[in-house]
Chains A and B, each alone.
Chain A
C-alpha cells in the first residue's frame, strides 16, 4: 500500500466498530495463514492488520467511557453526568 492507500484505510478503520475491526483482523490473519497471497498482497494484509491492531488496542487501552443519566420528559431526551 502506498501512503495514500494506507491513510485511506486508517480513516476507514477509525469509523469501524471494534467488532468489525476484530472480524476483519481475524479474516486477514486467516488469509495470511492460508499462504495463498502473493508477497505484495501479504505485506498489504500485514499493514492492514497492524492498523486494525492499533485501532483495537487504542480502544481497549484508552478505556475512556462515559457514564450518563438519560431522562425523557415529554418526548425530549436529556443527558447528564451520573
Chain B
C-alpha cells in the first residue's frame, strides 16, 4: 500500500533530499538574465545556458562577497547550493559568491547586431516615418494567446475608432522570428495604416526573436510605419531601434497610435466653434450693413426721400416754368420787335419816305434844270452854268448814292433781323413756326421788291436810260418849259456829263 503524504510533506522531503544531495557548495556556470534587485538588497535572476535555466537568488548579506555589480547578460560562475522553496515547490540556486567570467553569448550577439545595423543606417532618425494621425486600420503582429492583444484592444476601445487586424505569430522560441516577419508581410499585403509589433515582458531569451536580424530588416523595410512594443519599459530590443516609434509597452503603443476619442471630438467641436464664431461675425457684419440698407429702404424713409425729391422736382419745375415763360416772353417781344421792325408797312413807310424825298429831289432837279434852261434861253450869253450844273449833278449823284447806301443799309438791316429771328426761332426748340417762316419769307420778298423799286428811283439809273435834266446857270433844276425864256443859257445833264445850251424857243404842250 502506497504511502499518502501532503504537499507540504512532499516538499519537505524533497528539501531534505536536496540538503543531502550533490547540489550543495558547487560552482555553477551560466549567464545572468532577468535580473531584479529588490529594495531589500536581494538579487533575483535566472542563470541559464543555451539549453536550460534555473532561478537564482543572491541575498543582500552575501552581496559583499561579489566584486562586481551583476547585470543581465553577464556570464558568471556562481558558488552556492540548490534549495527548495517549500511554498511553491520550486527550487532555486542560492548564490553565496560569484565570479565574473565574461559577457554572455546572447548579449554579445545583441551588441554585435545592433552595431552592424546601426552602421548600415537602419536606425537613422531620417528613416523614421511620421505616424498617421488618424489610422483606421491597425495591424498587430503578436501572439493570439497572450494578454498583449487584449491590452491593445481594450486600450484602443476608448480611443479613435480603428479596425484591428491581428496577424498571429510566435513570440518566443525557435522559429518565432520567421513568423513575426511573415506576420508583417501579410499585414502589408492585406493593407493597414500602421503595424504594431508587440510582445509582453520576459527575459532576454524570451525577447530574443525581436533581436534577430530578419525581424529588424522586415520592420525597417515595411511599407507602412511600424511601432514596436516589446517587453517592459526597461527592455530594449533591436526591433525597437528599427521601428519608426518605440512604445514602452503594448498598452502604450495603442495610446501612442490612437488619439483619445473625446479629445478628438473636442478638437472637432472647437474647430466648429471657431467656424461658427467666424461665420457669425461675418453674418453680423453683413447683417449690420443689411440693417442700414433696410432702414434706408423702409417705406417711411423712402416716402420721406420721395417727398423731398418731389419737392425738389416741383421747385425745379416751377423755376423752369418761370424761366421758360419769361424767356418766351422776352423772345416773343423780340420776335415781335423784329417782326415790327420788318413789317411791310414799316419798311414801305421808310421806302415811301425815301421815294418821296427822291421824287422831291428829282423834281427839284428838273425844276432847276428847266429854270436853268429857261434862263439859258433868255440869257444865252451867260457862261459858267456848267460849273453850277456840274455841282447840281454831283449833288444829285450824292443824293442818289446816299439813297443807295441807305437802301443797302436798310437791306442789310432787314436781312440781319430776319437772320436773327430765324436763329432765335431755331433756338426756341426746333418747332419751326410755319406761319412765322412764311411771314418772314413774305417780308423778305417784299423787301426785295422794294429794293428793286428803290433801284428804279435812282436818278443815275434814269439818266442811263437816255433821260437828261436841265438846270439854269446857277444850277437850279428847271422843271417846266414855261420857266425858261429864249436866249437863256441852260445846261442839259446826261449820264456821262452835260452840254451847255441856249433856249431858242418855247412851245407849250397844251
Residues of A that sit less than 8 Å from B by CB: 17-19, 22, 25-26, 28-29, 32-33, 35, 37, 39, 42-43, 45-46, 49-50, 53, 56-57, 59-72, 77, 79, 82
CB neighbours (8 Å) of A33 from chain B are: 274, 278
Query: Is B164 touching A68 in the complex (CB atoms < 8 A)?
Result: yes
CB neighbours (8 Å) of B132 from chain A are: 19
Closest to B261 in A: A60
Cα A77 to Cα B187 in complex, Å, equals 9
Query: Is B275 touching A32 in the complex (CB atoms < 8 A)?
Result: yes
Query: Is A62 touching B279 in the complex (CB atoms < 8 A)?
Result: no
Query: Is A62 touching B189 in the complex (CB atoms < 8 A)?
Result: no
Stretch of B264-272, B302-310, B320-328, B458-466 that contacts chain A:
B264-272
Given contacts A60-B264, A63-B161, A70-B165, 13 further A-B contacts (CB under 8 A): A17-B136, A29-B271, A37-B282, A42-B278, A43-B279, A49-B271, A60-B161, A62-B161, A65-B164, A67-B166, A68-B166, A82-B149, A82-B166
Cα A49 to Cα B165 in complex, Å, equals 32
Determine if B241 is an interface residue (Cβ-Cβ < 8 Å): no
Q: 1/0 per residue B278-292: CB within 8 Å of A?
A: 110111001000000
Whole-angstrom distance between the Cβ of B394 and the nearest chain A Cβ = 98
Residues of B within 8 Å of A, CB-based: how many? 41
Cα A82 to Cα B156 in complex, Å, equals 15
Determine if B160 is an interface residue (Cβ-Cβ < 8 Å): yes
Query: Is B278 touching A32 in the complex (CB atoms < 8 A)?
Result: yes
Query: Is B268 touching A60 in the complex (CB atoms < 8 A)?
Result: yes
Q: Known contacts A25-B268, A77-B186; is A59 also within 8 Å of B282 by CB?
A: no
Closest to A23 in B: B133
Cα A29 to Cα B270 in complex, Å, equals 10
CB neighbours (8 Å) of B133 from chain A are: 19, 22
Query: Is A29 touching B275 in the complex (CB atoms < 8 A)?
Result: yes
Cα A57 to Cα B270 in complex, Å, equals 12
Enumerate B129-186 residues with CB–CB distance to A below 8 Å. 132-134, 136, 139, 144, 149, 153, 156, 160-168, 182, 185-186
Determine if B190 is an interface residue (Cβ-Cβ < 8 Å): yes
Question: Which single member of B163, B167, B278 contacts A66 (CB below 8 Å)?
Answer: B163
Question: Which single member of B160, B165, B281 contacts A68 (CB below 8 Å)?
Answer: B165
Q: Known contacts A56-B268, A60-B264; is A66 also within 8 Å of B282 by CB?
A: no
Cα A46 to Cα B276 in complex, Å, equals 7
CB neighbours (8 Å) of B189 from chain A are: 72, 77
Q: 1/0 per residue B243-284: CB within 8 Å of A?
A: 000000000000000000100110111011011101101110
